[in-house]
Structure 1
Amino acid sequence: MPNTPAGEGPRATGPQRRTLMKAGLGGAALAAAGLTFGSAGAAAAASSRVGPAGSAAPHDTGDWHHYVQGPSSRTVRPVGVLRSSGAVTAPEALLAPGGAATVLKRPQPQQPPRWPDGTTATASSFHAPNGGDDGQPRTYDAANAIDGDTGTFWNDDTIAAYPDTLTVTTAAPLSLPGITLLSNSDGAPSDFTVQTWDGSAWQTAATVTGNTDVRRAVPFGSTVSTTQVRINVTADQSTPQGEFTRINEVYPGLLPADDVPRVVVDFGKVVVGYPHISFSSASGNSPGVRLAFSETVQFLTDRSDFTRSDQSGVPSQGTDQFAVPAGGADWKDTKGYQSGTQVYADGLHGFRYLQISLDALASDAPAAQPWGEVSVDAVWLDFTAYLGTPESYTGWFLSSDDDLNRYWYGAAYTNELVTDTFRSDDIDPRGADSPTLDGKLVLQDGAKRDRDPYVGDLAVSARTLYLTHDDAAAAARDVLADLADHQRADGWIPPASINGYTLPLFDYPLWWVTCSWDYILHTGDRGYATGYYPHLTKVLDSWYPSVTDGDGLLSKGLNGTSGYGDYAFLGRSGQITYYNANYVQALNDAASLATYLGNSADAARWTARAGTVAAAVNAHLWDAAAGAYLDSSSGAARHAQDGNAIAITAGVADAGRAASALAHLDATTVLPYGNAFMDNDTIFDGASQRVYAFTSYPELVARFRSDRADSALDQIRRTYGWMDTHDPGITSWEGIGPDGSPYEGAYTSMAHGWSTGVVPALTNELLGVQPTAPGFSTWAVRPRPGSVAWARGQVPTPRGPLAVDWQHPRGGTFALTVRVPRGTTGSIAVPTDGRAVTVHVDGKLAWNGSKAKAYGAKAQDGYVVLDGITAGTRTVAVRPAG
């Protein structure tokens, strides 16, 4: 089946598709072993490992097929039932379509009791109103808790100062055996007391701790006659999504336990697309079905971990709804309404777990009712993203380390999930729709969110794409070209289509420059280079000079940029190492592009400016006492991963500063789940516990290129090993927070393209393959093996695959084979391991231990470098001299 996202016609594959690949498995491991949660999927995952960690996989080209994670077709079915509750018959039938049906039954719920007329409610605090989709403010005051409308709620405005109180007052004494609280699933109070007024003082009637129930009956010790009931919340955020207490209704009496029938199916890994459910029949009262989606078990509740409807103000309460007709239906869950403003469906989702409930919102009556019976024949997903099968991979990787192989293909699968068609119904709704992108292949941020392409993410995700599926390189070009087409008159380039291309970010125009050069290097697209060269000139020669200070450094705050953000929306201002190191990289990349197009004057000017900025960074932002670059020249002293890493990769730091900066990061940022992006918490609380794989990628590159391959491998194993062995497994997270948790709770994207840097890190640095001129017309192979015994792989180029295979036994002969495509030339650098060596190429001596015999061989920084390698299969052997 062609790798065509839904709604797009077939795409042509690359001109030089590999012909040696055999048909392989359509997706092997369902999930990583060692997941820290219990599920049917986890058992399957535990048996999916190719071999024990660190074992030497069989040395055969086809063996990498077993690591491929993509589904074998666009119809993806669940692999297990995680749990069921209530009246559910044969839940396992959902895994075997065509047999017995899964039946959910629920009797008609009794009407809840109402407060007497004249009852009022007050609260110690309530959240300020927010605007709804109708433009009218939504109120969150205390009256919502007794209005009989389960779609409204009281939202407190307290995060730490407890107690927060909700007081219900009746006009006359009421006899109460207890009360029942109905809360939003993202705001059920955790700890609270219930007090009643005896006419002269408050008396405690009940105490609740550790509550996780959305509907909680609270019985009193004995029936109480009172005119006032007070709920004192002493801790909220009982559910993972919660930040505040949100009580939809307080009922005067005790309701029976929630009897909603629910079944949760597990797809084994994060998937993305349109859910389908086939209903064979239903009772005649239009029973409602609600779907809740989550990438993790932790955030699987009665609402989805994220819905675009939440951001657009649609009152769906975080689920997709459907009213099942008596004759059954084949429901494809796409965005829309079944009847007016009722029975809302969000449509496309990124998720691993799907909860199906026989239930309906009160606002959906009478179109859907929260009771009756439904029979479910089958559940599946229409997969919309790039379909990554062994046949589709034009680039691949395999090594002696099973863990590294698994991380590489897990990240590649993550990137496939975000390679999709831009569709107005499936993007985040914050003004992100764009007619200039609709229908085009793009790289989104994440499978779940943000479903909008940001150029900074392409700094990683586009490289992953070029190295795995070059037939989809248009996804990067479409984004880069569209953003350039929306360049502001002053030269600034927007980061994304969000907010009508107006989101003010300070660093992303620099990423547009570097990503443009990356695209040209990998594809040789000269038309793009010439067509968008004026945009590049304008951003570098107009906008960034307008925010350059007297020291020659970019300074956020100049030219009205004090409110601009960056990739993490950090409150940074003034001279920032990260911005300026990135500026040096962008200027040098622009100079390379200018040279390619024959614009020598521009190339010289940008190269000179890059040198000036680099010198200023070293003069004003190097902290000699810490031995690392400051995050900022002003304010509290802190040292950031982004600035220090990119200062090394951009060539700002010399070898001494590079070694010192990496040693500082070793001493201050190492965590069990990666390296933190800040060395202290002066920029915000918890910064020194936060890991971004996005900014970890340049640190990995810096470590490899500073001859610290094993420290790079250690960082990879901690960062990607953590994500691989924690729910949802396999995919690369947007960010990791304290104790290894998803850094923004349920909102965190657990499959995010900007976190896939392990792919280019292992291919470009460990395997050692790099383009050095557009379209791989020239290239370099420079392995950095560290403790890895062998590696092999293939990189797609416009002229055909460039394949590399090396073995590095400890103390033995380093052997390298390179298969070079026609029309290209390159250099090969082989490690000497600090020894005197001889180097033979195709059996002929090229380096005798002290001087060149062929290929202009020279000793350089622990390597012997061979130039002028031409097309064909070349074998290189490195042996101890003498």
Structure 2
Amino acid sequence: MIHLPRGRGALAAVSVGATLVGMLGLNTAAAQSGGAGHPAGNPWAQSDFQPRQGDWRPYVLAPQGHEVAPVAVSSVSARGGAVQGDPKALLGDTKKPVRLVSSGDRTQSPLVTLDFGKDVGGKIRIRVAGASKTPPQLHVCFSESKQFAASPTQPNNGEDAIAPGCDTANIWNGYPGQPYTYDADSHTFTIDPSKLPATLTDSQLRGGFRYATIFLDGPGWVDLGAASLDFGAAPQQADPADYQGWFLSSDNELNKIWYSGAYTVQLDTWMSDTAKSWPYQTGEADHSDAQVPGADPGKEVIFDGAKRDRVVWQGDLAVQAPVTYLTTDDVPAVDNSLSSLASQQLPDGFMPAESLVGQHNQDEIRTYGEYVTWFVQNHYTHWLYTGDQAYLAQWWPQLTKAMAWLESVRAQDPKGLISFAQVGSCGHYGYSDCGHETYVNALYKRNLDEMATLADSRGDGSDAATYAARATDVKNAINSQLWDATTGAYRLSTEIPNAYPQDANATAVLTGIASADQSTRAMDYLRQNSWSTYGPLTVSPSTPNSSIQPFYEPLPSGFEASARLDLPDPTGAQQAQALQLMRTFWGHELSEDPGGTLWEKANLDGDPGIAQFTSLAHGWAAGPTISLTNQVLGVQPTGAGFSRYSIVPTPGGLSWAQGSVPTPHGNISASWTSSSHGFTLHATAPHGTVGDLAVPTGGHKVRVQLDGRTVWDGSHAVGGAHVSSDGVTVRVQSVPSGHHTLVAHTLS
């Protein structure tokens, strides 16, 4: 995640669909992870693919090991030189190498672009069979998409003449609107003619690229054989494709979205000594070799993006950590990430938003007050999913100090709400606002609820009561000052009362601030005013305040999808809108290059938000992976480490869904089918867990059976069963571990 000042120049506005070569690349890439020869085919290549129950492995994009080959030669251009022989030698398809001949410097060199079929990351290897007596330098440029690879039609502010085929990776040189003045992005291979043939390995990794463009600098020739990639992401997962948790449904597009989120977070997971320290000095080449402060150097962390920033961010982890728990179960990577951030706490309790790796990070050490709330959220989520009481105890002093800092900011203000104006920490995930925001205060209210639960788990009832009382105070202050009953939506802030943003309204629903009526009205407002071509915008285009501009942002769009799934709507209309939101917003991203990973942000025209600088594998965009498991499949923890859990399916128009969720006790498995005649849920949970199982009513009167015994007759519990209904679901409470079947029969 990167937060940038506005007004750095116009962004490119060229929308390019996935090329035929790209689609073939995805096909081959998916085949490597289980799609090849699979009886169900390949969901990433077949537009008419029909999911089959139990057949989830073809969706996995992660490689089965850490050696990855390119899948195609995307393009070849001789320019002022020559390409002699078959470029497919670089794919290992021919025994005879291909010769690249250059008559001058890099502007005259031939270009050969390899396609890895999807976003990948690591160190390139190239077989060099021979070279001229005085060989030219061998360079490789990287780009996540064809659209923003430097070329005559996409010069990237001059990058085309210096680093052809590159996009811009985490440096200000060549940022949209600024000139590209030196080669800061290509990687150089040094050729020693006396030691050929040899396989050369890049000395630096590149995280986040689909296309690798080979070029020469200087006169001479080089004979090249097979290229490959030492896949460096998820380094401590021996088989990255071996997921511990999975999801599958009757909707092919939603399935792809789930697995793209899982893969994006994997692609952001690296060893902690592969961060970026920036901005670079003029002339400094690309490198990712900085140590994350406070992290164990022998373990992974989860960066915000594979290409950039390549540091750990509090807000990004709020999405990435639960995605990790639900997919790879790589808890050590989460632990290391959270610990590294916690170790940076300032003496007054303020928690920096990101890893303090380089000067850029140090310069904004107190910028993001919002991210202090995410620090608390992340540790609560960790406790909820892992049940690790010792880890909670280790960082409890930091949590209480962070909460004390947030409360000290609120206590300074007579409105009873947080405003970061007085402390100069107004930075925000998407905009800067020093006012009394609905969004920030909703996050703080949730923190207070979470701390009350955590304090209670530690046996501290007094602190729990204090946190709970404050949560009520903040909730009341938000509703009395920021709810606009006439409009039917929450305001951005008391200072900007005529803007009703996505984040304010979605988080008010998710954090329990909005009543059922307010929740419905707020979501209806967003649907009617803020939805556009590619999904929901951050704010309605009709907002009169010119300082608040609409754009597409995945973080609050994930909040909105989750909020809609949460609404108690017996008709299922809100839930269906949530799934349509996912198909529209995230489906658009998957239809574009590079395909299979999720973007940092997008412009109004649907293009990536910061052109060649945009990260196209950004984990904070993976919210649907969480929602599809927790809310659509319905499995989520309600007690520490899944000691208690619930399975409350939200069909949203789907006919079936199934999946498996890793827990400290073993996996919880669930599958359900829905029809006009009723609903059937199968659930299996390990020893040490107790769960609530529910079936949706669909707005009908239903009779419910648990394991063949009637427990709800349509109006009342039967036989002393602990069953209740809110009109939306019928819930059976405290079901013991083991396998159970819950069936709802439609009566009227």
> Shorter-chain TM-score: what band?
0.7 to 0.9
* Offset of residue 635 of structure 1: 3.5
* Offset of residue 520 of structure 1: 0.7
* Offset of residue 733 of structure 1: 0.6
Point out the more displaced range, 540-549 or 266-275.
540-549
Q: Residues 420, 371 of structure 1: CA spacing in aligned structure 2 closer, same or farther, 3 A cutoff?
A: same
In the alignment, which residue of structure 1 is the partner of 2:130?
Answer: 281
Q: Does 1:262 align with 2:106?
A: no
> For the residues of structure 1 that align with 2:238 and 2:442, how far apart are their CA atoms?
35
Task: Return the letter of the residue paired with 2:341.
Answer: L
In the alignment, which residue of structure 1 is the partner of 2:588?
Answer: 722
In the alignment, which residue of structure 1 is the partner of 2:77?
Answer: 85
Question: Among 183, 200, 207, which residue is 1:316 paired with?
Answer: 183
In the alignment, which residue of structure 2 is the partner of 1:377?
Answer: 225
3-state SS of 2:731 partner:
strand
> For the residues of structure 2 that align with 1:415 and 1:683, how far apart are their CA atoms?
35
> For the residues of structure 2 that align with 1:317 and 1:543, how far apart are their CA atoms?
40
Task: Return the letter of the residue paired with 2:294.
Answer: T
In the alignment, which residue of structure 1 is the partner of 2:294?
Answer: 436
* Offset of residue 684 of structure 1: 6.1
Q: What's the TM-score once normalised by structure 2's chain length?
A: 0.86
* Offset of residue 542 of structure 1: 3.3
Q: Residues 275, 684 of structure 1: CA spacing in aligned structure 2 closer, same or farther, 3 A cutoff?
A: farther
> For the residues of structure 2 that align with 1:272 and 1:777, how far apart are their CA atoms?
37
> For the residues of structure 2 that align with 1:713 and 1:654, how far apart are their CA atoms?
23
Point out the more displaced range, 832-841 or 36-45.
36-45
> For the residues of structure 2 that align with 1:686 and 1:88, how far apart are their CA atoms?
51
In the alignment, which residue of structure 1 is the partner of 2:417?
Answer: 553
- Deviations along 1:158-193, one digit per CA (max 9) or x if unpaired, are xxxxxxxxxxxxxxxxxxxxxxxxxxxxxxxxxxxx
RMSD: 2.4
Q: Aligned pairs, how many?
A: 672
In the alignment, which residue of structure 2 is the partner of 1:405?
Answer: 255
* Offset of residue 308 of structure 1: 4.9
In the alignment, which residue of structure 1 is the partner of 2:600?
Answer: 734
- Deviations along 1:251-304, one digit per CA (max 9) or x if unpaired, are xxxxxxx53211001000000111112211110113112221100001112432
In the alignment, which residue of structure 1 is the partner of 2:371?
Answer: 508
In the alignment, which residue of structure 2 is the partner of 1:603?
Answer: 464
> For the residues of structure 2 that align with 1:41 and 1:77, how far apart are their CA atoms?
15
Q: Does 1:827 align with 2:688?
A: no
> For the residues of structure 2 that align with 1:633 and 1:543, how far apart are their CA atoms?
19
3-state SS of 1:508 partner:
helix
> For the residues of structure 1 that align with 2:456 and 2:345, how far apart are their CA atoms?
23
Q: Does 1:478 align with 2:339?
A: no
- Deviations along 1:751-797, one digit per CA (max 9) or x if unpaired, are 01100111111000100111001100000110010210000001110
In the alignment, which residue of structure 2 is the partner of 1:746?
Answer: 612
The answer for unaligned runs of 5 or more in structure 1 is 1-33, 110-214, 216-257, 336-346, 360-369
> For the residues of structure 1 that align with 2:418 and 2:590, how far apart are their CA atoms?
38
After superposition, residues 660-699 of structure 1 pair within 5 angstroms as 660-680=521-541, 687-688=549-550, 690-699=551-560
After superposition, residues 582-731 of structure 1 pair within 5 angstroms as 582-635=443-496, 637-680=498-541, 687-688=549-550, 690-706=551-567, 707=569, 708-731=574-597
Point out the more displaced range, 634-643 or 715-724.
634-643
Q: Does 1:760 align with 2:626?
A: yes
Question: Among 65, 68, 78, which residue is 2:60 paired with?
Answer: 68
Question: Among 319, 330, 334, which residue is 2:203 paired with?
Answer: 334
8 Å Cα contact 1:70-1:388 kept in structure 2:
no
Task: Return the letter of the residue paired with 2:118.
Answer: K
In the alignment, which residue of structure 1 is the partner of 2:308?
Answer: 449
Question: Among 373, 388, 395, which residue is 2:245 paired with?
Answer: 395
In the alignment, which residue of structure 2 is the partner of 1:144?
Answer: none
Q: Residues 299, 496 of structure 1: CA spacing in aligned structure 2 closer, same or farther, 3 A cutoff?
A: same
In the alignment, which residue of structure 2 is the partner of 1:338?
Answer: none
> For the residues of structure 2 that align with 1:77 and 1:51, how far apart are their CA atoms?
19
Question: Among 438, 442, 460, which residue is 1:577 paired with?
Answer: 438
- Report the structure, 1 or 2, having the larger strand content: 1
Task: Return the letter of the residue paired with 1:382.
Answer: D
- Deviations along 1:377-412, one digit per CA (max 9) or x if unpaired, are 121111111258586211100111111111111111
* Offset of residue 376 of structure 1: 0.8
* Offset of residue 54 of structure 1: 7.8
* Offset of residue 503 of structure 1: 4.8
In the alignment, which residue of structure 2 is the partner of 1:186?
Answer: none
> For the residues of structure 2 that align with 1:490 and 1:758, how far apart are their CA atoms?
36
After superposition, residues 195-206 of structure 1 pair within 5 angstroms as none
Which protein is bigger by CA-based radius of gyration? 1
8 Å Cα contact 1:279-1:330 kept in structure 2:
yes
Question: Among 369, 372, 393, which residue is 1:530 paired with?
Answer: 393
Task: Return the letter of the residue paired with 1:420.
Answer: W
3-state SS of 2:227 partner:
strand
* Offset of residue 543 of structure 1: 3.8
- Deviations along 1:480-508, one digit per CA (max 9) or x if unpaired, are 22222221111111111233482521111
Question: Among 721, 737, 740, which residue is 1:855 paired with?
Answer: 721
> For the residues of structure 1 that align with 2:291 and 2:742, how far apart are their CA atoms?
52
8 Å Cα contact 1:104-1:375 kept in structure 2:
yes
- Report the structure, 1 or 2, having the larger helix content: 2
In the alignment, which residue of structure 2 is the partner of 1:838?
Answer: 703
Q: Residues 835, 263 of structure 1: CA spacing in aligned structure 2 closer, same or farther, 3 A cutoff?
A: same
In the alignment, which residue of structure 1 is the partner of 2:38?
Answer: none
The answer for unaligned runs of 5 or more in structure 2 is 1-14, 28-40, 151-159, 175-179, 281-289
* Offset of residue 358 of structure 1: 1.6
* Offset of residue 730 of structure 1: 1.0
Question: Among 635, 643, 666, which residue is 1:769 paired with?
Answer: 635
3-state SS of 2:56 partner:
helix
- Deviations along 1:101-123, one digit per CA (max 9) or x if unpaired, are 121012247xxxxxxxxxxxxxx
After superposition, residues 778-789 of structure 1 pair within 5 angstroms as 778-789=644-655
Question: Among 328, 347, 364, which residue is 1:469 paired with?
Answer: 328
8 Å Cα contact 1:291-1:355 kept in structure 2:
yes
> For the residues of structure 1 that align with 2:384 and 2:167, how far apart are their CA atoms?
39
8 Å Cα contact 1:309-1:316 kept in structure 2:
no
8 Å Cα contact 1:82-1:264 kept in structure 2:
yes
Question: Among 43, 51, 74, which residue is 1:49 paired with?
Answer: 43
> For the residues of structure 1 that align with 2:313 and 2:279, how far apart are their CA atoms?
14
Point out the more displaced range, 675-684 or 87-96.
675-684
In the alignment, which residue of structure 2 is the partner of 1:520?
Answer: 383
* Offset of residue 547 of structure 1: 4.2
In the alignment, which residue of structure 1 is the partner of 2:192?
Answer: 325
In the alignment, which residue of structure 2 is the partner of 1:106?
Answer: 102
Q: Residues 44, 294 of structure 1: CA spacing in aligned structure 2 closer, same or farther, 3 A cutoff?
A: closer
> For the residues of structure 2 that align with 1:389 and 1:669, how far apart are their CA atoms?
42
* Offset of residue 51 of structure 1: 8.3
Q: Residues 661, 798 of structure 1: CA spacing in aligned structure 2 closer, same or farther, 3 A cutoff?
A: same
Q: Residues 686, 53 of structure 1: CA spacing in aligned structure 2 closer, same or farther, 3 A cutoff?
A: farther
> For the residues of structure 1 that align with 2:428 and 2:548, how far apart are their CA atoms?
18
3-state SS of 1:595 partner:
helix
3-state SS of 2:248 partner:
strand
3-state SS of 2:200 partner:
strand
Q: Residues 516, 682 of structure 1: CA spacing in aligned structure 2 closer, same or farther, 3 A cutoff?
A: farther
> For the residues of structure 1 that align with 2:509 and 2:371, how far apart are their CA atoms?
19
- Deviations along 1:110-165, one digit per CA (max 9) or x if unpaired, are xxxxxxxxxxxxxxxxxxxxxxxxxxxxxxxxxxxxxxxxxxxxxxxxxxxxxxxx
In the alignment, which residue of structure 1 is the partner of 2:35?
Answer: none
Q: Residues 372, 391 of structure 1: CA spacing in aligned structure 2 closer, same or farther, 3 A cutoff?
A: closer
